[in-house]
Structure 1
């Protein structure tokens, strides 16, 4: 018993004097930066920003590797673009959407970025990274151009307000064309105007032809971030939507009128629904969630439509 008691006292003594101090781990993100001609001539003008995500072969700590494909290659060859181009390098063989968002926030702080014209594109691993970022932070972007990548079709609804042009090689045996096709097919019901170009004779390298297309750049620069501006709805219209709604006899929500809005309550949770029109209301999650009123009640639009019926 004596041998057990002494170590216990020592442990108690150690814990009494143990201390913790603040510390921090910083992550450096290397990137290539290309500023457009005229950037320094007007200190008030804001410029579109393009984030380019490279493929797995360009990962590492040598930034020159990022210049071998895509927009950095074109810039290196002397092509001029009327936008800021930032090409980060991944040193761990993947893209982290959270880190990329922090990078974009930092760029907006240090450069004159037009927040309504932030674009993202990537090839192969970068195509996957582009889809992933859009599935998490669609509201940050004005348009995406994923090339020979893929994503989760169940997340496509989150990108329904995000203009998209996807490219793939018909003979790609590294990332199968079905990876892009699955995303486009999932997105079409929400965004009928989504663009999908398949180069029938191209293998994995479908990006060279895509980035050399002037029509791609013309289209991209014409895109702006979707503006969620509430419409004005008459109080009488709001009042008729008040009531209790049930889905599948289980989930119950209560809707009450508010000032040019509707209050939705599910259990203890509440969301303020803003009107997009007299029949469509939304709230902002990581992506906008839609409530579409119809004769039976309303449709909740997540990755699929779910009917809630009005019971009273």
Structure 2
């Protein structure tokens, strides 16, 4: 692209977005995760003897503003986070929280252009150390530089910048790095060269992207079978890859804005990609080719599988993950666990995080485990948005396609997924033999009503004494109440456990609990 055309592209980009309302730049999910992040920081800050005199009012006001003014709420949470980290609240520090750094796509083909953009989430503060700039570097996971994207994004004088205004550049990443997954780091600096903040986004460069996509699309268009698990999975891959070429289709926590995303990344919570797009394009090719030849490519598949189905709720293609033991024998019936991820997560969490303990124990104990998408990262597993139906559909789907013992189907979930485990597990208790809510148990009138009705169930409740998001006192209260109401309860509390660590720490205990319990049928009585 020549300099004249590049200048025109920049100008169009800025004109299109600079007057967009700031409110549209901060989503409700950003506010939610800003609150959760500061709640975690607050526990540690108070344990260090930190003074909450200035910070507590900020958090209170942020909570009150969340629904009516998400931008204000976000700003207050970020100020509180900065103060708890020991930073002084200066215009330069506030400027770092005012910016979001983004890419227009998650994947590009060799020779394709990628847009890197700085967006002001709200009107810029009166920062005086101009000119400001974002230095752009493509880095490895250890932050070692692979290449620089010159000249970076020049912000210049920022005092007049308004919320929604965007500045960016367009570049061809394949001229700087080879095919594969890459990480771009944007470093905000002032006129003195001081680093004010860093932002990260990842992207894939894929060889022969257009050619490979077209080849699979040609095969799948001619297939008579559109609804089998393999056919639905191929269509999901194609749909997702096409979408990732035009939007930043991030994995868990990767679509959070600005420094909030950086904070979650630093905690190891924004590192998982939605998928390896290059590898899954190869997988789509293999599946489509097998279907064309009249073979079922999933008939003998074992280990980790990434699949999709068409939802009975709205007809959309929805992904799920499943682990089939390598020793799976179709002549035997297997126990099964349906797993519900927490807020911010997706179907990959239980399979790829938590030290890999869930699939490892599934292999050792001879379980089939399936992790649902839940129709998004913050669905709450509600009826209205199809998330509850996703849990039921995927459970039924696995039972149809694999040999599952109907009396050994279990439900477990973390955080938001624990809430879903309580709600779905008790409403549809005839479908599950036992439940395992992890770090997400709270006393509510709805839960008490559900516990009082229907068949009493075996339930293992997992909690961490150092969980900053789910008070352990509430977990203890529910455990005692459930016991009093006749449910068989094991309460497992980890003295050093926090909101995340207990998911890995409790795996063996949960499998032990499920091993010891099967659904009681009339014939067993």
Using the size of structure 1 for normalisation, the TM-score is 0.57
- CA offset at residue 71 of structure 1? 8.6
* Counterpart Cα distance in 1 of 2:339 and 2:332: 22
Query: Match of 1:86?
Result: 370
Query: Match of 2:521?
Result: 227
Query: Match of 2:505?
Result: 209
Matched, 1:136 2:427: yes
Which secondary structure does the structure 2 equivalent of 1:183 belong to?
helix
- CA offset at residue 141 of structure 1? 0.6
1:100/1:177 CA distance change after superposition, 3 Å: same
Q: Deviations over 1:71-121 (max 9, x none)?
A: 965427996341111011234212233331222122211111111000111
| Pairs within 5 Å for 1:41-190 | 42-59=329-346, 64-70=348-354, 74-75=358-359, 80-92=364-376, 93-94=378-379, 95=381, 96-150=387-441, 152-158=447-453, 160-190=455-485
1:119/1:57 CA distance change after superposition, 3 Å: same
Q: What are the ranges of 5 or more consecutive residues in structure 1 without an aligned counterpart?
A: 1-23, 232-312
* Counterpart Cα distance in 2 of 1:25 and 1:97: 13
Q: What are the ranges of 5 or more consecutive residues in structure 2 without an aligned counterpart?
A: 1-312, 382-386
Q: Deviations over 1:180-206 (max 9, x none)?
A: 223222211233631101112222122
* Counterpart Cα distance in 2 of 1:78 and 1:198: 23
Q: CA RMSD in A?
A: 2.7
* Counterpart Cα distance in 1 of 2:368 and 2:414: 19
Is the 8 Å Cα contact of residues 434 and 518 (structure 2) preserved in structure 1?
yes
1:32/1:167 CA distance change after superposition, 3 Å: same
1:159/1:65 CA distance change after superposition, 3 Å: same
Is the 8 Å Cα contact of residues 50 and 85 (structure 1) preserved in structure 2?
yes
* Counterpart Cα distance in 2 of 1:144 and 1:126: 12
Is the 8 Å Cα contact of residues 167 and 198 (structure 1) preserved in structure 2?
yes
Is the 8 Å Cα contact of residues 459 and 487 (structure 2) preserved in structure 1?
no
Structure with the larger helix share: 2
1:75/1:192 CA distance change after superposition, 3 Å: closer
Is the 8 Å Cα contact of residues 433 and 518 (structure 2) preserved in structure 1?
yes
Query: Match of 1:191?
Result: 486
* Counterpart Cα distance in 1 of 2:512 and 2:322: 21
Is the 8 Å Cα contact of residues 479 and 489 (structure 2) preserved in structure 1?
yes
- CA offset at residue 53 of structure 1? 1.0
Which segment drifts farther, 128-137 or 74-83?
Answer: 74-83
Structure with the larger strand share: 1
Question: Relative contact order (alpha carbons < 8 A, sep ≥ 6): 1 or 2 greater?
Answer: 1
Which secondary structure does the structure 1 equivalent of 2:406 belong to?
strand
| Pairs within 5 Å for 1:2-41 | 25-39=314-328
Query: Match of 1:249?
Result: none
Which secondary structure does the structure 1 equivalent of 2:344 belong to?
helix
Is the 8 Å Cα contact of residues 50 and 83 (structure 1) preserved in structure 2?
yes
* Counterpart Cα distance in 1 of 2:433 and 2:487: 17
Is the 8 Å Cα contact of residues 58 and 66 (structure 1) preserved in structure 2?
no
Is the 8 Å Cα contact of residues 355 and 504 (structure 2) preserved in structure 1?
no
* Counterpart Cα distance in 2 of 1:190 and 1:108: 31
